[in-house]
Chains A and B, each alone.
Chain A
Amino acid sequence: MQRNPQLNANGELQHLLSIEGLPREVLVQILDTAESFVGVTEREVKKVPLLRGKSVFNLFFEPSTRTRTTFEIAAKRLSADVINLNIALSSHTKGESLLDTVANLSAMQADIFVVRHNSSGAPYLIARHVKPHEHVVNADDGRHAHPTQGLLDLYTIRHYKKEFTRLTVAIVGDIMHSRVARSLIHGLTTLGAPEVRVIGPQTLLPSGVEALGVRVFHDMRAGLKDCDVIVMLRLQNERMGGALLPSAQEFFKHYGLTGAKLSLAKPDAIVMHPGPMNRGVEIDSTVADGPHSVILPQVTFGIAVRMAVMSIVAGN
């Protein structure tokens, strides 16, 4: 059997490419380590010396503000040197291949590559070709995976709900184009969440999504009933008005999270969103800013989770 490319011979995390295929112990180790780092981020001095002398290269082949910034903050809090490369604007456009770009950066003594690329598999390709002391962290590769977002969602759920084994979690909206949804579904099932629901119009649910172990709902009211956790996904502007969806207003009417729909979930339900939000499209402002919303804490936890991932892979 082929070894999971993310794990070394001892079964330890060497690269983070996808939540899919990660054993439960590794997920728990990441979440536990992140919890220790949340303590660090609450101190006066928010830095630890773990990655002193190491270089983290942020390789962004696609634009991103939030993910790149939180990786940068995380790396700096681990005392690493951070180099941000906007490849979309650099030699890539001059025709340099992905592996040539990485080989050049490796010659500049990189230790960790944080990669965002619109093609699924680009981080895998890089991970197969880096030196043993170099590590790759997938920061979102097209429609495939966004593992650190999935991990920070898992962290947020554990923070507020303590354990997974009694939870009903609903993921709502554009499941088809969401890497967050896939990463999160794999994580939730691995950690023992008994019921994961996906809610959305037929056109935005990938065919065969049931095979991931989720219950499918097209009616949001039915799907939200008695949920503990509601994860709203961003509806990308380019999906609207085309064949998949009639309009933003129409989507909001059926799948936008309003106070009335939220009241069908459990009274202590939490509302999450990976950001950036489209207010009035997938979520109403009163809910986004309301007492059930944990959307901003998600961002803060995201830093600790990325610190955990980088410090674990760099040590293995």
Chain B
Amino acid sequence: MKLPEAEQLCVQLVGELKARIGPQTAMIGLYTGGAWLAERLHAMLRLPEPLGLMDIAFYRDDYHARGLHHDPKRTKIPFDINGRDLLLVDDVLYTGRTVRAAMNELFDYGRPASISLVVLADRGGRQLPICAQHCGARVEVPSGMRLRLRRDAGDRLALALEPERAA
């Protein structure tokens, strides 16, 4: 099956987001795919605030079943989030649980004025009342597969399907 071109979706998202940028706008990407996408969007939009990066490992709701994953990244939010209009960026929106965890973590940093969700692809399958305000494309994903963003050595982004890892 043919997946949308990630690079084109980036251009499309930038066009959409430009109109939304205000003096309080700041961007935060979720590791790992969301961070790659956020790096790209942040550069293309020339946002004045440095980019924030989050690893939601300490806020996941499946810690008791799965434990901590082995390669945690350090969350770095290099600006005060109080009163900000945050663009929260992830690569693929699925169950909504990652976004829930990310919002919980964000509120331990302060009280943003607003949070909008930006994703490259929405594959449906939501388990929580969460939706993206800016979405590159809707993608049907066959069961047993997961949709991931990849970045090659030349920094090119591409969507890819791969078998789901056994839980």
Contact = CB atoms under 8 A, between A and B. Distances in A.
Nearest to A53: B64
A250 interface: no
A36 B63 contact: no
A25 B71 CA distance: 10
A45 B67 CA distance: 23
Interface stretch (A192-200, A257-265, A308-316): A308-316
A36 B72 contact: yes
A47 B108 contact: yes
A222 interface: no
Interface in A272-316: 311-312, 315-316
A38 interface: yes
Given A49-B104, A315-B64, A29 B70 contact: yes
A18 B66 CA distance: 24
A35 interface: yes
Contact of B76 (A25, A39, A316): A39
A315 B72 CA distance: 14
Interface stretch (B17-25, B54-62, B135-143): B54-62
A312 B66 CA distance: 10
Contact of B109 (A35, A36, A43): A43
A312 B74 contact: no
Contact of B74 (A36, A45, A49, A316): A36
A48 B67 contact: no
B68 interface: yes
A316 B66 CA distance: 7
Given A44-B109, A44-B110, A49-B104, A32 B63 contact: no
B74 A39 contact: yes
B55 A36 contact: yes
A12 B63 contact: no
A126 interface: no
Contacts of A33: 68, 72
B144 to A, nearest CB: 23
Contacts, number: 52
Contacts of B95: none
Interface string A74-100: 000000000000000000000000000
B75 A36 contact: yes
A311 B110 CA distance: 24
Interface centre among B59, B64, B66, B68 (most CB of A within 10 A): B68
Chain A interface residue number, banded: 20 to 34
Contacts of A25: 70
Contacts of B66: 315
B126 interface: no
Interface string B87-110: 000000000000000001100111
A45 B109 CA distance: 7
Contacts of A130: none
A45 B59 CA distance: 14
A204 interface: no
Interface of B: 55, 57-59, 63-64, 66-68, 70-76, 104-105, 108-110
10 closest pairs, A vs B, by CB?
A315-B67, A48-B58, A45-B108, A36-B72, A39-B74, A36-B74, A315-B68, A316-B67, A33-B72, A29-B70
Given A32-B71, A39-B75, A48-B59, 13 more contacts: A12-B67, A25-B70, A36-B57, A36-B58, A38-B74, A44-B108, A44-B109, A47-B108, A48-B108, A50-B58, A50-B63, A311-B68, A315-B64
6 contacts: A29-B71, A35-B74, A43-B108, A48-B108, A49-B104, A315-B66
